[in-house]
Amino acid sequence: MSEVIVVTSGKGGVGKTTTSASFATGLAQRGFKTAVIDFDIGLRNLDLVMGCERRVVYDLVNVIQGEATLKQALIKDRNNENLYILAASQTRDKEVLTTEGVEKVINDLKGLGFDYIICDSPAGIEKGAHMAMYFADSALIVTNPEVSSVRDSDRILGLLGSKTYRAENDLPSIKEHLIITRYSAKRVNTGEMLSVADIKELLGVSLLGIIPECQSVLSASNAGSPVIRDDGSLAGKAYSRIISRFLGEEVPDDSAKKGFFRRLFASNKEKELA
Amino acid sequence: MNILRLLKRGKTAKAAKDRLQIIIAQERSQQSQQTDYLPLMRQEILKVIAKYTGVKLQDVKVDLQSNRSNSVLELNITLPENLKAKTPAEEKATETEEEVEAETA
């Protein structure tokens, strides 16, 4: 059984691609055969975050238009044999994505034995975003604790419940998981930032995890290595917990308070939590 | 100095939450299926009103507000000037509004 997961947010710059890269890598690390598809036609970036930008020969659009086979276009990750990347086209218009074309790609990936197919959605609610979510079984909604991001996430939740294959065919609805990124517990405590509880209440979606504001996210994308591979970093650990929770394992709360001594002797890395 | 700045900045998260609660509720009600029938219903109500008074489309405002237990359908109709002129008491008013509130499950 394959599961199609869309990583979406509505707003740009909140961490969709970072989350797609780490989520796909994390599932592959656990032994699941995973494909991650970039739907941001014209503005591809997943290849850069995954560190395979120089190995892109064929892309999603080439496959849809029959200019390359799916096997030719899938890029195997250098560090994990379970992980494959399907890049977006950098030159074409996003209108070339068709429902039939995307459906065929996803069905062919299922046929190749992929356990998880991660669809990295572009920002906005245009064709690319629509196609990324259309065949999803689950959705990761990436939200920043910030008004415009929360509002856009709510809009996306509305679309997930109405403009997808599952919604249109009266199938069980898409499983929605909230991921809050760039979170700063310190700023929440001073009343400057929306809290996890606030966002959960506003959106009414169950929380999968919190990614703290962390310097290692930038370092990881600089290096082209998903931040989940940096298992000493706060963000890397947080993504690992997200994978565990997604797979149904019991994991301690992300916002669990540290003991007095741990806080006193917190390492510099932990102090990155600005 | 630092404390002063902190106090000045205040608890803006509360404001963010309050504003989001309002806008999200509004946008959800606009998106919901209930709104699908609103344009058509507006047209039909207008036909009836126009038959007797001659009100224009832009003078009818239809609002639907929903919360968990009930929905309030609000029709706001601005009656034309020539109707007002009929009764002296209403002559001074610039516009007459009539509100019809109907509660639906």
**Among all residues of chain B, which has the CA nearest to that of A148?**
B20
CB contact (8 A) between residue B21 and residue A162: no
Q: Does residue B17 sit at the A interface (CB-CB below 8 Å)?
A: yes
Q: Does residue B8 sit at the A interface (CB-CB below 8 Å)?
A: no
- Of A4, A81, A85, A103, the C-alpha closest to A38 is A85
CA distance A89 to chain B (A): 32
A 211-270: CB under 8 A from B: none
Q: What is the sign, positive or negative, of the torsion defined by CA atoms of A232, A4, A79, A244?
A: positive
- At residue B105, does pLDDT exceed 60? no
pLDDT of residue B48: 82
Q: What is the sign, positive or negative, of the torsion defined by CA atoms of A111, A112, A115, A121?
A: negative
Among A56-65, A184-193, B8-17, B61-70, the least confident range: B61-70
pLDDT of residue A134: 96
Residue ranges in B2-104 assigned as alpha helix (H): 2-9, 12-31, 38-52, 81-84
Among A40-49, A265-274, B1-10, B26-35, name the most confident range.
A40-49
pLDDT of residue B88: 43
CA distance A114 to chain B (A): 35
Higher pLDDT among residues A176 and B7, named by residue: A176
Two structure tokens written together for A58: 């064929």
pLDDT of residue A8: 97
**Among all residues of chain A, which has the CA nearest to that of B25?**
A202
| ipTM exceeds 0.85 | no
CB contact (8 A) between residue A190 and residue B12: no
**Residue A258: left (phi > 0), alpha (psi -120 to 50), or beta?**
beta
Residues of A in contact with B27 (CB under 8 A): 151, 154-155, 158
Among B41-50, B59-68, B79-88, name the most confident range.
B41-50
Instruction: Please name the member of B6, B17, B28 whose beta carbon is closest to the beta carbon of A194.
Output: B17
Q: What is the mean pLDDT of residues B25-35?
A: 71
Among A91-100, B12-21, B57-66, B72-81, name the most confident range.
B12-21
- At residue B90, does pLDDT exceed 50? no
State the CB neighbour count (10 A cutoff) for residue A118: 30
Higher pLDDT among residues B39 and A120, named by residue: A120
Query: Would you write out chain A's pLDDT as a tens digit for each of its 274 residues?
Result: 899 999 999 999 999 999 999 999 999 999 999 999 999 999 999 999 999 999 999 999 999 999 999 999 999 999 999 999 999 998 777 778 999 999 999 999 999 999 999 999 999 999 999 999 999 999 999 999 999 999 999 999 999 999 999 999 989 999 999 999 999 999 999 999 999 999 999 999 999 999 999 999 999 999 999 999 999 999 999 999 999 999 999 888 776 555 455 555 554 444 444 4
Sheet with A83-86: list strands edge to edge.
A75-76, A83-86, A34-38, A116-120, A3-8, A138-143, A175-183, A207-212
pLDDT of residue B77: 78
pLDDT of residue B75: 78
Two structure tokens written together for B62: 């239809």
**Residue A182: left (phi > 0), alpha (psi -120 to 50), or beta?**
left
Instruction: Please name the member of A154, A192, A202 whose beta carbon is closest to the beta carbon of B9.
Output: A192
* Residue A101 CA from chain centroid, whole number: 22
CA distance A63 to chain B (A): 35
pLDDT of residue B19: 92
Q: Does residue A162 sit at the B interface (CB-CB below 8 Å)?
A: yes
- At residue B92, does pLDDT exceed 70? no
CA distance B75 to chain A (A): 26
pLDDT of residue A243: 97
Q: Does residue B13 sit at the A interface (CB-CB below 8 Å)?
A: yes
Q: Does residue A170 sit at the B interface (CB-CB below 8 Å)?
A: no
B 26-45: CB under 8 A from A: 27-28, 31
- Of A44, A78, A235, the C-alpha closest to A243 is A235
